[in-house]
Amino acid sequence: QQQVKQSPQSLIVQKGGISIINCAYENTAFDYFPWYQQFPGKGPALLIAIRPDVSEKKEGRFTISFNKSAKQFSLHIMDSQPGDSATYFCAAERTGGFKTIFGAGTRLFVKA
């Protein structure tokens, strides 16, 4: 019940295309859903996050879509660029000092 399932494991997208990464969770107590971006040789860094009281959050080319009833959320990268090539992790948290739960990660490669 603590797991966050992420797909796909890897993704290749043409420059200018849309990258979509999906995550699903079971525990309805989760109340915060961040996405982290990791470049080779670096630690992950927060990219964008959403709370379950909204269905969508957009920051520049990055959008999180959230479906509370389906317990799913996804990251959309519009106009994907080679510089977006990285590993993306979805995560889920719950208030009260509980640890953050990460998905398995998606390796994105954007072809120039």
CA distances from residue 1 to 8, 33, 55, 81 in whole angstroms, order as listed: 20, 16, 22, 35
Residue 103 near another protein by CB under 8 A: yes
Q: How many residues bind another protein (CB under 8 A)?
A: 22
Residue 54 near another protein by CB under 8 A: no
Given 57, 61, 76, 107, the residue binding another protein (CB under 8 A): 107
Q: What angle do CA 21, 1, 106 make, to 5 degrees?
A: 20
Is the C-alpha dihedral spanning 98, 59, 78, 72 positive or negative? positive
CB of 80 to another protein, least distance (A): 20
Is the C-alpha dihedral spanning 41, 93, 78, 109 positive or negative? positive
CB of 14 to another protein, least distance (A): 22
Point out which residues bind another protein (CB under 8 A). 32, 34, 36, 41-46, 49, 51, 89, 93, 95, 97, 99-100, 102-105, 107
